[in-house]
């Protein structure tokens, strides 16, 4: 157990950070007064297979010997078992500016990397949605589709997350652009906004009452 009071201040942070980010987050406190047994506090040591009393890692030892003691934040590497890690290391100094230890975070991203690949595979497409739609025969003309699409895109949210007020505003904007003069517009807009055609009529009534 280190006797340096400056390093002792960091000891409680080890578990605080680890508990915040979960079992895949290893947090380590090193005391450089004994490089062969430098780890004085560690949480989730299974990430790299280390424990209290383990030595300073080779990369940190190299930095110490070369005097490269600047913090290294948000870098990637691999554990001895090949796990993909996202890491940060901050060096701890005493009141005279001498480096006496370091505080390290190693987050195991292996499962996330795999999940990212799966998601990328699932989300990959060979044909653009707009291109696919352009090749179809529509009962509603392209002018209406473009007006509705651009008006909804301007809100910047998926339809599923739109509030009633936002949907009313969209209907108002479409009305101002003359969209509802196009045959079939009520049914089309209702379908796109996931509401009934009667809801669209109600929105229009609300809008016109407010304007009057």
Higher-scoring residue by pLDDT: 109, 78 = 109
Average pLDDT, the chain: 86
Rounded mean pLDDT, 126-137: 52
Q: Is the pTM of this model over 0.85?
A: no
Rounded mean pLDDT, 95-124: 88
Catalogue all structural domains in the chain, each as residue range(s) with its CATH number. Answer: 5-115 (3.30.450.20), 127-211 (no CATH)
Q: Is the pLDDT of residue 143 over 90?
A: no
pLDDT tens-digit map of 41-52: 999 999 999 999
Give the separation between CA 134 and CA 129, rounded to whole angstroms: 9
The phi, psi pair for 33, rounded to 5°, reads -70, -15
Residue appearing with tokens 């809801």: 199
Angle between helices 164-176 and 197-211 (to 10 degrees): 70
pLDDT tens-digit map of 188-205: 999 999 999 999 999 999
SS (H, E, C) 138-173: CCCCHHHHHHHHHHHHHHCCCHHHCCHHHHHHHHHH
Q: Is 59 helix (H, G, I), strand (E, B) or coil?
A: helix
Give the separation between CA 62 and CA 202, rounded to whole angstroms: 71
Higher-scoring residue by pLDDT: 72, 20 = 20
Confidence of residue 131 (pLDDT cuts 50, 70, 90): low
Q: Is the pLDDT of residue 121 over 80?
A: yes
Cα dihedral sign for 123, 138, 199, 174? Answer: positive
Higher-scoring residue by pLDDT: 123, 98 = 98
Confidence of residue 137 (pLDDT cuts 50, 70, 90): very low
């Amino acid at each position: 157990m280190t006797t340096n009071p400056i390093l002792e201040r960091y000891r409680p942070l080890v578990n605080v950070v680890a508990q915040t980010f979960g079992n895949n987050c290893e947090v380590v406190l090193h005391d450089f007064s004994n490089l062969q047994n430098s780890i004085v506090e560690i949480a989730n040591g299974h990430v790299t297979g280390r424990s209290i009393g383990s030595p300073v890692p080779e990369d940190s030892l190299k930095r110490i010997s070369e005097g490269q003691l600047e913090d290294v934040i948000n870098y990637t590497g691999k554990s001895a078992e090949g796990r993909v890690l996202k890491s940060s290391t901050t060096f701890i100094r005493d009141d005279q500016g001498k480096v006496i230890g370091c505080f390290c975070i190693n987050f195991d991203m292996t499962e996330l990397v795999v999940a990212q690949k799966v998601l990328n595979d699932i989300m990959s497409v060979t044909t653009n949605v707009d291109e696919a739609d352009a090749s179809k025969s529509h009962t509603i003309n392209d002018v209406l589709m473009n007006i509705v699409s651009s008006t909804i895109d301007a809100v910047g949210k998926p339809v599923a997350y739109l509030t009633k007020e936002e949907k009313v505003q969209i209907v108002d904007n479409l009305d101002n652009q003359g969209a509802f003069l196009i045959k079939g517009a009520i049914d089309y807009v209702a379908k796109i906004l996931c509401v009934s055609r009667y809801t669209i009529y109600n929105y229009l009534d609300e809008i016109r009452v407010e304007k009057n």
